[in-house]
Amino acid sequence: MPDQLIECIPNFSEARRPEIVTQIIDKIKAISNIHVLDFHSDEDHNRTVVTFVGPPAEVEEAAFQGIKIAAELIDLNTHSGSHPRLGATDVVPFVPISGMSMKECISLCHHLGKRVGNELHIPVYLYEEAAKIPERINLERIRKGEYELLKEEIQTNPTRRPDFGPSRLSPAGAVIIGARNPLIAFNVYLNTDDIQSAKTIAHAIRESSGGLTNVKALGMMVHGKAQVSMNLTNYHQTSILQVYESISTQARKLKVDVHHSELVGLVPQEALMDTAISYLKLDEFSGDQILEQRLNRIKLSSDKTNINILDEFASEKPSPGGGSSAAFAGAMAAALVTMVAQLTINKKKYANVSAQMKEIFHQSENLRAQLTEYVHEDARAFEKVMASFKLPKETDEQKNLRFKAIEETTLEAARVPMQVAQWSVTVLALCERVAAIGNINAITDAGSAGSMAMASIRSAGYNVKINLADLTDEVTVERMQIQINQIEQRATKIEEQLLATLKERGGL
């Protein structure tokens, strides 16, 4: 698996012409290292959702090629479907999977948006985490009036000017590009052809109308049945089961029933596991009881290609060294937070904090992935510094290039442990939370996690400061010195609170 992995889920405004869908998917597949995981076409929506993953550069290229060919093959002036849309490629969300921060994902969105605007001359709007304008965070606001209204307003209404590209529409329409966390596309069909029933239920359950948090919903007609079409943006807070039961309740009020439901695209295993646990009222269930998870653990432990990182630390090579060990300690702290969260979730005694623990679980697993990646990232940064010192210095030009390379690589070598310290402070805060509300039987594990997080922050701080000492840009040095000092001060305060919590709950 690549060090960095990102998911892209473009929505194309075509489903009734399979040959067009095939051409789009073939263009995406043609990019090296791209894996198409799934695609879903709905003729009533007249929309196809493709899911693919790969390294960032390749994913961006695959998305660009998909947008390009869709613009050539799909004419919005003749397009019709029950799903709202602005363009031939309507929306292109990116989701960081591993080794990618949300900040990096946002940068990719901006780069792709600029490229689509400049090279394809298609207007681009940025949404969710990538939005440059607060009013465009919400996808529904950007889509208001769809292609037909945007065609009229894009040249005359300043609020509808795109983030990139021309202020005019071609038959390809506009593209909406954004970065977000994983969501679940979930549809529920009713046993009626009365679309008003679906619209009434959608209004009742969606967050914007005062319904369920993290639920977006529309009512529409699909396959001759009324459908409640939804996006669940945080399944940790609002589960599939909660949504389904709420729709069932609303349907009974209207004297209709649920006919069936469907998932569009891929869904996290945890979301289905939570649904099964809730429905079956399983007590003290653990993910370790799932056969496939246990088998995967065996497979990973027996994988001979995994290098023992402790052997690497112990070797005579200068890297990985202290910076990598800081990231490793932070990853271990995050892993322990995950453990405490799992020992608390689905326990009757802690039912009132289960939702909070699920969110902590999600955060700690993301942090663990990021910090694990930075074990290697720190080593790579150090190796770049060493390489810059080996550059030739016979001529003045070579000396200048060498000096510039040393400055740039040393600055990067300071930024990497700075990021580690920032993530580990967040881990430390999660340690305090699980110590305060988590399973009392795991209280010392929460304390141990806090100790590892503090070790990570201190070790990262050493590595930031040693690299800053070699930089000549005084403004940058002062700014980063202040930044690392603030991180360490915040960590000290959180550690004090953690120790007080441990003492209060009998963990010391």
Given the residues 40, 45, 79, 83, the one annotated as active site: 83
Instruction: Say what the pTM is.
Output: 0.57
Question: What amino acid is encoded at 183 in this protein?
Answer: L
Q: How many Å apart are CA 483 and CA 477, to the nearest integer?
A: 10
Helices (runs of H) and strands (runs of E) counted in the chain? 15, 11
Q: How many Å apart are CA 83 and CA 96, to the nearest integer?
A: 26
> What CATH number does domain 184-277 carry, 3.30.70.670, 3.30.1540.20, 3.40.50.720, 3.40.50.300?
3.30.70.670
Concatenate the DSSP letters of all residues of 434-479 into one string: HHHHS-GGGHHHHHHHHHHHHHHHHHHHHHHHHHHTT---HHHHHH
Residue 305 is predicted with a pLDDT of: 41
Residue 369 is predicted with a pLDDT of: 87
Pairing of strands 35-42, 47-54: antiparallel
Pairing of strands 215-222, 225-232: antiparallel
Phi-psi region of 60 (alpha: psi -120 to 50; beta: other; left: phi over 0): alpha
Domain 283-504 listed as CATH 1.20.120.680:
yes
Given the residues 42, 90, 163, 378, the one annotated as active site: 378
The secondary structure of residue 76, as a DSSP letter, is G
Q: How many Å apart are CA 80 and CA 146, to the nearest integer?
A: 11
Tokens 């080794």 correspond to what residue?
Answer: 99
Domain with CATH 1.20.120.680 in the chain: 283-504
Q: In angstroms, how far is CA 22 from the centroid of its own chain?
A: 28
Question: What is the CATH code of the structural domain delimited by 5-179?
Answer: 3.30.990.10
Mean pLDDT in consecutive groups of 10 residues from the start of the chain, 508 residues: 81 94 94 90 92 94 97 96 95 90 93 97 96 92 95 94 96 96 91 96 94 93 93 87 95 95 84 82 71 59 54 80 92 94 86 86 87 88 88 90 90 92 94 93 93 95 92 90 93 94 81
Domain with CATH 3.30.70.670 in the chain: 184-277
Domain with CATH 3.30.990.10 in the chain: 5-179
Asked about 378 being catalytic, the answer comes back as: yes
What token pair was written down for 465?
């400061």
Provide the 3-class DSSP secondary structure of residue 219: strand
What token pair was written down for 152?
């009229």
Closest CA to 94 of 182, 12, 217, 26: 182
Asked about 473 being catalytic, the answer comes back as: no
